Amino acid sequence: MERKFFVGGNWKMNGDKKFINELVECLKKCPIEQSVEVVVAPPTIYLDYTKSIVPQNVQVAAQNSYKVAKGAFTGEISPAMIKDIGIDWVIIGHSERRNVFGENDNLIAEKVAHALETGLSVIACIGEKLEEREAGQTEAVVFQQVKAIAGKIGEWKNVVIAYEPVWAIGTGKTATPQQAQEVHQKLREYIKKEISEKVAKEIRIIYGGSVTGANAKELAKEKDIDGFLVGGASLKPEFIDIIKANK
């Protein structure tokens, strides 16, 4: 089964209605092939608005959700709330959630499990810090992050894994196509061994970390890179070039 190319745009804490209108107009002018799945993730406050104006071939994701449906959790949103406004995707475990807000592997796994149970599709982020890569711990770190999620879920068909080396996010440093492919390949081998061969063949493993219109095409040529989760470049016209990178 061929894995459908996937491009996610994580807008992070950026934009207002005027800016979102401009981004969406840019997307409307882009002839998105049926072989590409495109998802954009605006700030929570603009989820409903973005959903109302994006073209039909662009989906919308929340940038985060909590592990329960409701309760006394000030500032959080639940998968049920996300579903209620017609959103089908959520990003969970982004390195900023892990390393700025202190979310650990277990909490992220619980959040992934609850989002899936609620009917959302999940972009589950994993990745190592610079000191971990330099210490030769890349595989150990990303395998552990996947293992934590695997311990909480039984079905992977609505999960996309985003490998985002923390040292390459927003730094301008990008893993070379060979470095990224090596980790993606090792991840697929790990999933085959520890989860199942079927999941390993079917799951999309996308790359994130200073992806640009200039480097996306080379990265997309690699066998185990099934697309991208894009930060800064998703706020610029070059996002269109990234969407077309698998051509």
Q: How confident is the model at residue 168 (pLDDT cuts 50, 70, 90)?
A: confident
pLDDT at 1: 62
Per the annotation, the verdict on 194 as an active-site residue is no
Structure tokens, 110: 């619980």
Residue 16 has pLDDT above 90, yes or no: yes
Torsion angle of the four alpha carbons 226, 89, 133, 199, in this order, in degrees rounded to the nearest 10: -50
Q: What is the pLDDT of residues 169-215, one digit of tens each?
A: 777 777 899 999 999 999 999 999 999 999 999 999 999 988 999 99
pLDDT at 171: 77
Question: What is the band of 136 on the pLDDT scale with cuts at 50, 70, 90?
Answer: very high
Question: Which pLDDT tens digit goes with each residue over 208-241?
Answer: 988 999 999 999 999 999 999 999 999 999 999 9
> What is this structure's pTM?
0.97
Domain that holds residue 21: 5-243
Q: What is the pLDDT of residues 91-108, one digit of tens each?
A: 999 999 999 999 999 999
- Is 164 one of the catalytic residues? yes
Percentage with pLDDT > 70 across the chain: 100
Q: What is the pLDDT of residue 2?
A: 87
Catalytic residue among 114, 164, 184, 238: 164
Instruction: Evaluate the CA torsion angle 210, 202, 146, 136 in order and state its sign.
Output: negative
| Active-site residue identified among 94, 103, 110, 184 | 94
> Residue 54: which residues within 8 A CB-CB, separation 6 or more?
24, 27, 40, 60
Q: What is the pLDDT of residue 215?
A: 94
In degrees to the nearest 10, what's the CA dihedral of 235, 241, 245, 247?
150
CATH of the domain at 190: 3.20.20.70
Tokens of 197: 């061969």
Torsion from C-alpha of 49, 53, 59, 64, nearest 10 degrees: -10
Mean local confidence (pLDDT), 150-155: 97
Looking at this protein, which amino acid is placed at residue 228?
A: F
24-51 residue pLDDT tens: 999 999 889 999 999 999 999 999 999 9
Mean pLDDT to the nearest integer, 56-79: 98
Domain count for the chain, please give it. Answer: 1
Q: Which residue from 187, 220, 227 is spatially nearest to 204, judged by alpha carbons?
A: 227
Token reading at 63: 């940038």
